[in-house]
Homo-oligomer: A and B are copies of this chain.
Amino acid sequence: MSTKKFILQENDIPHAWYNIVADMKNKPMPMLNPKTKKPVTVEDMEPLFARALAEQELNTTDEWIEIPEQVRDLYKIWRPTPLVRATGLEKALDTPAHIYFKNESVSPVGSHKLNSALAQAYYCKKEGCTNITTETGAGQWGAALSMAAKIFGLELAVYMVKVSYHQKPYRRSIMQTFGAQVVASPSMSTKAGRQIITNSPNNQGSLGTAISEAVELALQTPNCKYVLGSVMNQVSLHQTVIGLEAEKQMEMAGEYPDTVIACFGGGSNFSGIAFPFLRHKILEGKEIRTIAAEPASCPKLTKGRFQYDYGDEAGYTPLIPMFTLGHNFMPSNIHAGGLRYHGAGSIVSQLMKDGLMEAADVKQLEAFDAATLFARCEGIIPAPESSHAIAVTIREALKAKEAGEKKVLLFNLSGHGLIDMTAYDSYLAGDLTNGEVTDEEIEKNLEDVSDLKI
């Protein structure tokens, strides 16, 4: 049982976010305006995004971006978060590896998503918005943003992916308790949603579709901006508080990670924990592996193609240079709703292309085996998303055992699974399937976006 916990003080909360783009030799290719095929500008983004956020999105020069005092002050509600040595899990695996996890599940809404939600709500409020819209998969992002919106006095509409809306009703209730409007996506409330429902009435939704609906509503609502929980550079930026804290805590533990692991949907929590460590790889040539753990049923990094693609299903967003399965990809109904996204953010995609990071795919059953073992060893029931990171950590710990090597592994526990118990019910009842996808399906789906190939 883990009892080694490394605790920082409030003055250890970072004062600036880390912008990895400034340090990358090969910068991510630019996002393109789909009509003009020219690089997107701050002005292009402004109808949809707060200006400060658009500027962060396109900032390729400043290594550090100051965290506004009010945001940093709100981080104190639950930050700094603990770093924990998972001695119980180590013992159960009988591994010489040392396993650490950064516990982002301690936020009042249960995940790392609050790090960016508070920042985005802050800038929207500062620039005079009254309303914001967003999408959410499993609801971790929606719950975080609902809390942030209420704090800043913003009205929020959330499009929640339909399969998650039904799998995870408590997250809908959490959002509503914070005063947000929640709609199952695809819905009849937008053109994008109506079109999908008309074409496939039983469509269970995807993050790509929910983004289309949220963007459409934002564009049609006065004084309204769109905010989002992953994929974009600004989100990766805000999440780096995770890794910046973790670096200090690994120092307290007197160790340095050989490998940093996080689950991967669009990249928010992976970027958050990995980028501050990758900084030393880029700047100092430090040997460190970072592994993105993605679902085998939504394998954009391990089986997708690097090319331009839309961030959403309807094609409202700029063209993003990304590893993608095609923006019309419909992932199977796995419980890790936050990982059901067709593409990877442009920074991560570039890092992947340049061999600066790795990816591994995990089947749903392996993820829940890992989750249940972790819960029973460490006392924390992990989110289905985070369980993918745990599964890859266990693989690495067992490799270390086989090799007889002491490796230091660090993973991000991005959230707890207390609102995902129907998934655990299915698992314990033996009803859970892997929900895979065939290479043929991926191939066929990519064909639809072959005109966007680089």
* B-binding residues in A (CB < 8 A): 1-3, 5, 7, 9-10, 73-74, 76-77, 88, 106, 108-110, 147, 150-151, 169-170, 173-174, 176-179, 372, 375-376, 379-381, 416, 418-419, 421-422, 424-425, 428
Residue pair A379, B108 in contact (C-beta under 8 Å): yes
CB-CB nearest 6 A-B residue pairs: A173-B421, A170-B421, A108-B380, A3-B73, A3-B76, A108-B379
Most chain B beta-carbon neighbours within 10 Å: one of A2, A77, A424: A77
Q: How far is the CA of A147 from the CA of B372 in the complex (A)?
A: 12
Contacting residues, chain B, for A173 (C-beta < 8 A): 421-422, 424-425, 428
Q: Which residue of B lies closest to A428 (CB)?
A: B176
Contacting residues, chain B, for A428 (C-beta < 8 A): 173, 176-177
Most chain B beta-carbon neighbours within 10 Å: one of A108, A178, A380, A419: A108
Q: Which residue of B lies closest to A107 (CB)?
A: B379
What are 6 A-B interface contacts by the 8 Å CB criterion?
A: A1-B77, A3-B74, A77-B379, A109-B379, A170-B170, A176-B425
Contacting residues, chain B, for A5 (C-beta < 8 A): 10, 76-77
**A158 smallest CB distance to B (angstroms):** 15
Return the contact of A421 from the options B88, B151, B177, B379 (Cβ within 8 A).
B177
Residue pair A174, B10 in contact (C-beta under 8 Å): no
Q: Which residue of B lies closest to A151 (CB)?
A: B1
Residue pair B1, A375 in contact (C-beta under 8 Å): no
Residue pair A3, B77 in contact (C-beta under 8 Å): yes
Contacting residues, chain B, for A375 (C-beta < 8 A): 177-178
Contacting residues, chain B, for A73 (C-beta < 8 A): 3
Contacting residues, chain B, for A179 (C-beta < 8 A): 376
* A1-B77, A173-B421 known; A106-B109 Cβ under 8 A: no
**A216 smallest CB distance to B (angstroms):** 27
Known: A88-B151, A176-B424, A177-B381. 16 other contacts (CB 8 A): A1-B74, A2-B77, A3-B74, A3-B77, A7-B10, A150-B379, A170-B419, A173-B424, A173-B425, A177-B375, A177-B376, A177-B424, A177-B428, A178-B376, A418-B418, A419-B421
**A429 smallest CB distance to B (angstroms):** 10
Residue pair B174, A421 in contact (C-beta under 8 Å): yes
Contacting residues, chain B, for A379 (C-beta < 8 A): 77, 108-109, 147, 150-151
Q: Which residue of B lies closest to A144 (CB)?
A: B379
* A1-B151, A9-B7, A179-B376 known; A174-B77 Cβ under 8 A: no
Q: How far is the CA of A419 from the CA of B372 in the complex (A)?
A: 19
Q: Which residue of B lies closest to A109 (CB)?
A: B379
**A74 smallest CB distance to B (angstroms):** 6
Q: How far is the CA of A416 from the CA of B173 in the complex (A)?
A: 14
Q: How far is the CA of A422 from the CA of B173 in the complex (A)?
A: 8
Q: How far is the CA of A30 from the CA of B336 in the complex (A)?
A: 54
**A257 smallest CB distance to B (angstroms):** 22
**A317 smallest CB distance to B (angstroms):** 30
Q: How far is the CA of A109 from the CA of B173 in the complex (A)?
A: 20
**A427 smallest CB distance to B (angstroms):** 8
Q: Which residue of B lies closest to A427 (CB)?
A: B177
Most chain B beta-carbon neighbours within 10 Å: one of A2, A73, A176, A421: A421
Residue pair A418, B421 in contact (C-beta under 8 Å): no
**A370 smallest CB distance to B (angstroms):** 13
Contacting residues, chain B, for A109 (C-beta < 8 A): 379
Q: How far is the CA of A170 from the CA of B108 in the complex (A)?
A: 18
Q: How far is the CA of A419 from the CA of B9 in the complex (A)?
A: 30
Contacting residues, chain B, for A421 (C-beta < 8 A): 169-170, 173-174, 177, 419
Contacting residues, chain B, for A422 (C-beta < 8 A): 170, 173
**A126 smallest CB distance to B (angstroms):** 16
Q: Which residue of B lies closest to A6 (CB)?
A: B10
Contacting residues, chain B, for A150 (C-beta < 8 A): 376, 379
